[in-house]
């Protein structure tokens, strides 16, 4: 193998740049030429390729977003689109591809592997919604962004003796809500993986009031309920002065945490090593603090398991 390429696809996530840097530097260390494909699978099909040298990935380890840009591309879901992408890769002399993205991006990567092109995946999504890896790139930073916001909201919530509902991202997964709810000291956490129980939320709010609590924070995952709806229901049922904050895309940006920089560096290097060893169709993961390689088919056929013991712990600690 003499030349490989890397692309980012789907929603961006802090730490993607650290992974791109690691792919380029590990690749060059191993005497491989590395190309960057811009705008995800759209760029793959259009031939939007740029050579990446050692210096081109300098000064990016601490930056959020992705220097390669990202995109969603419907055309790549068709066999015609995939074959067009394959032709562009071969025309550019590329022999292996590293895809940084979420489960959708890995479905595309699996298709390329089935068409005979060696592809390796790096899980990059703030949602942490992939199976076979304990963490995805960007999740830790997103959780830190949320607790920073929750800490600030707590100040004003205390001053005004208000109840706040904070809606966080996560598509169909409650990981961001769970981890930020526990570490931000929320009174209740609403996630898709646990039954929504408004009576329980109200009961906890009233219990808190009885023991002198002057404010409360409820973290809600976007995949369950609209935060505004929950806020309205709480205000109606309790009469508490309630406000709602939808954090939105600030969770996707910002300088990656040390953990995400480390994860991106380790995963990027591991992906290059796997390609060099002749592996294809696998996702790099982190399992019990060690790098792992899992076939796409296996990772995509399983559902990510949210740690329900953490959910129970959060409930216990917020009584
Ligand atoms: P993520 O990778 O973050 O889950 P998406 O689900 O939006 O994001 O997927 C990103 C891109 O991956 C899609 O826009 C499309 O180009 C590609 N993709 C998704 N599903 C498939 C599929 N079944 N076959 C081929 N490509 C796919
Ligand atoms: O997958 C990451 C994510 O940020 C989800 O949490 C969210 O639902 C979605 O992407 C938003 O995507 P966009 O605004 O880019 O369409």
92 occurs within a structural domain: yes
List, for residues 273-287, the tens digit of each pLDDT value: 999 999 999 999 999
Among protein residues, the one with the nearest Cα to ligand 1's atom 7 is 10
Lay out the sheet containing 3-8: strands in order across.
49-52, 33-37, 3-8, 96-101, 119-123, 282-287, 290-295
pLDDT digits (tens, 9 = 90+) for 287-317: 999 999 999 999 999 999 999 999 999 999 9
Predicted pLDDT of residue 71: 95
Tell whether 134 and 262 lie within a shared domain.
yes
The yes-or-no verdict on residue 214 having pLDDT over 90 is: no
State residue 224's pLDDT score.
Answer: 85
| Number of separate domains in the chain | 2
Q: Please report which ligand is nearest the Cα atom of 130.
A: 1
What token pair was written down for 243?
């406000």
**Which CATH number do you get for residue 50?**
3.40.50.450
Q: Give the Cα separation of 188 and 186 in Å (integer).
A: 6
Q: Are residues 89 and 104 in the same domain?
A: yes
Of 214, 230, 253, the domain-final residue: 253
Q: Which atom of ligand 2 is nearest to the CA of 169?
A: 6
Please indicate, yes or no, whether residues 24 and 165 belong to a single structural domain of this protein: no
Residues with CB under 6 A from ligand 2: 11, 102, 125-127, 169-171, 222, 252
Rounded Cα distance between 319 and 316, Å, is 6
Residue 319's pLDDT is 84
- Residue 227 C-alpha to ligand 1 middle, in angstroms? 27
Shared domain for 128 and 87, answered yes or no, is: yes
Q: Is the pLDDT of residue 73 over 90?
A: yes
The kind and range of the H/E element at 165 are strand 163-168
d(CA 212, CA 174): 30
Dihedral sign, CA of 238, 240, 241, 245? negative
Reported as a single tens digit per residue, the pLDDT across 219-273 is: 999 988 899 999 999 999 999 999 999 999 999 999 999 999 999 999 999 999 9
Please check whether residues 131 and 262 belong to one and the same domain: yes
Domain membership of residue 190 (yes or no) is yes
- On whether residue 309 sits in a domain, the answer given is no
Whether 17 and 132 map to the same domain: the answer is yes
CA-closest candidate to residue 5, choices 41, 199, 13, 277: 41
Q: Residue 85 domain-assigned?
A: yes
Which protein residue's CA is at the shortest distance from atom 19 of ligand 1?
Answer: 104
> 128, 135 in Cβ contact below 8 A?
yes
Q: Assess whether 267 and 240 both reside in one domain.
A: no
Same domain, 193 and 210: yes
Ligand 1 atom nearest to 106, measured from its CA: 2
Show which of 193, 227, 253 is a domain's final residue: 253
| pLDDT value for 127 | 97
Q: What is the pLDDT of residues 1-35, one digit of tens each?
A: 999 999 999 999 999 999 999 999 999 999 999 99
Identify the CATH number of the domain in which residue 242 sits: 3.40.50.460
Cα–Cα distance, 204 to 216 (Å, whole number): 10
String of b and e for 186-199 (b: at least 16 CB within 10 Å)? bbbbbbbbbeeeee
Range of the domain at 200: 141-253
Residue whose CA is at the smallest distance from ligand 1 atom 12: 105
Quote the pLDDT of residue 223: 83
Query: pLDDT (tens digit, 9 = 90+) per residue, 147-175?
Result: 999 999 999 999 999 999 999 999 899 99
Residue 218 lies in a domain: yes
Q: Of all residues in the chain, what percent carry a pLDDT higher than 90?
A: 97
Quote the pTM value.
Answer: 0.97
- Both 107 and 169 in one domain: the answer is no
Residue 313 lies in a domain: no
3 state DSSP class of 286: strand
Assign 47 a pLDDT band (cuts: 50, 70, 90): very high
Helices and strands of the chain, counted as H and E runs: 11, 11
- 317 domain-assigned: no
Mark whether 43 and 66 lie in a shared domain: yes
Q: Are 299 and 104 in contact (CB under 8 A)?
A: no
Specify the ligand 2 atom closest to the Cα of 176: 6
Rg (CA), the chain: 22
Are 169 and 130 members of one domain?
no
State the closest ligand 2 atom to the C-alpha of 222, by its place in the atom list counted from 1: 8
What is d(CA 319, CA 317) in angstroms, rounded to the nearest whole number?
Answer: 6
| CB-defined site of ligand 1, < 6 Å | 9-11, 41, 72-73, 76-77, 101-105, 107-108, 111, 125
- The answer for residues whose C-beta is within 8 angstroms of residue 225's C-beta and 6 or more apart is 190, 196
Same domain, yes or no, for 177 and 125? no
**Mean pLDDT (the chain, rounded):** 97
Q: Whose CA is nearest to atom 8 of ligand 2?
A: 171
Q: What is the pLDDT of residues 83-119, one digit of tens each?
A: 999 999 999 999 999 999 999 999 999 999 999 999 9
Closest CA to 146 of 163, 160, 126: 126
237, 253, 269 — which closes off a domain? 253
Whether the Cβ atoms of residue 191 and residue 143 lie closer than 8 Å to each other: no
Q: For residue 257, give the DSSP letter.
A: P
Tell how far the Cα of 20 is from the centroid of ligand 1, in angstroms.
19
Catalytically active residues, by annotation: 127
Is residue 82 situated within a structural domain? yes
Q: How many whole angstroms from 263 Cα to the centroid of ligand 2?
A: 21
């Amino acid at each position: 193998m003499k030349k490989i390429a890397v692309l980012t696809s789907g929603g961006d996530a802090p730490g993607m740049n650290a992974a791109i840097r690691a792919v380029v530097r590990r690749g060059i260390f191993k005497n491989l030429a590395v190309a960057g494909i811009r705008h995800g699978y759209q760029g793959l099909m259009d031939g939007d390729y740029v050579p990446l040298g050692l210096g081109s990935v300098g000064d990016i380890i601490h930056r959020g977003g992705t220097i390669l840009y990202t995109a969603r591309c419907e055309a790549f879901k068709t066999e015609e689109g995939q074959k067009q992408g394959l032709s562009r890769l071969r025309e550019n002399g590329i022999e292996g591809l590293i895809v940084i993205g979420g489960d959708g991006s890995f479905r595309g990567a699996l298709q390329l592997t089935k068409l005979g092109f060696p592809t390796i995946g790096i899980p990059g999504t703030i949602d942490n919604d992939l199976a076979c890896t304990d963490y995805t790139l960007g999740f830790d930073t997103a959780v830190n962004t949320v607790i920073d916001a929750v800490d600030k909201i707590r100040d004003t919530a205390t001053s005004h003796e208000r109840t706040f509902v904070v809606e966080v991202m996560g598509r169909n997964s409650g990981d961001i809500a769970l981890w930020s709810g526990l570490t931000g000291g929320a009174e209740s956490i609403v996630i898709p993986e646990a039954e929504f129980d408004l009576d329980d939320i109200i009961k906890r709010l009233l219990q808190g009031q009885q023991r002198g609590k002057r404010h409360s924070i409820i973290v809600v995952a976007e995949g369950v309920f609209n935060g505004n709806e929950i806020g309205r229901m709480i205000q109606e049922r309790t009469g508490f002065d309630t406000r709602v904050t939808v954090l939105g895309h600030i969770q996707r940006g910002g300088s990656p945490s040390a953990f995400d920089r480390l994860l991106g560096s380790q995963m990027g290097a591991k992906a290059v090593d796997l390609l060099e060893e002749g592996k294809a169709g696998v996702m790099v993961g982190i399992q019990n603090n060690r790098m792992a390689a899992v076939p796409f088919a296996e990772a995509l056929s399983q559902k990510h398991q949210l740690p329900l013991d953490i959910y129970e712990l959060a409930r216990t600690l917020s009584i």
